[in-house]
Amino acid sequence: MDVKQLILGPIVSEKSLSQRQNIYVFWVDIKATKGQIKQAIKEIFDVDVVKVNVAVKGQEHRRNLSTGKAYIVSRRKKAYVTIASGQKINLLEGK
């Protein structure tokens, strides 16, 4: 799998940024493994990855309030990436 297709994008929210200094949160492909995520972050941002934790968010049933139609939001996967102390990722930049 290509590195660019593996990491779908960073999660920039108040909750994800209020965590510890060295933890960054990314949306990743549902089939990605921890080893692949670690290698991709290392290649894209040129940092030393210490640990990767993943969480799979299950599919959700939602309803459009204006039309009343029901739809399904598919499963997604988050990766919590811990990098070495003293290093930093600028989420607005990358290779």
Per-residue pLDDT of 4-49, as tens digits, reads 789 988 888 767 666 667 889 999 999 999 999 999 999 988 999 9
Containing structural domain, residue 72: 3-83
* Domain membership flag for residue 92: no
* Domain membership flag for residue 70: yes
Domain tally for the chain?
A: 1
Euclidean distance between CA atoms 83 and 45, whole angstroms: 11
* Domain membership flag for residue 15: yes
* Domain membership flag for residue 43: yes
> How many CA atoms lie less than 13 Å away from 50 in the CB half-sphere?
10
H or E, element range at 54 = strand 49-57
The CATH number linked to 70 is 3.30.70.330
Q: How much is the pLDDT for 1?
A: 66
pTM higher than the cut 0.75:
yes
* Domain membership flag for residue 95: no
Residue 88: pLDDT band (50, 70, 90) is confident
* Domain membership flag for residue 7: yes
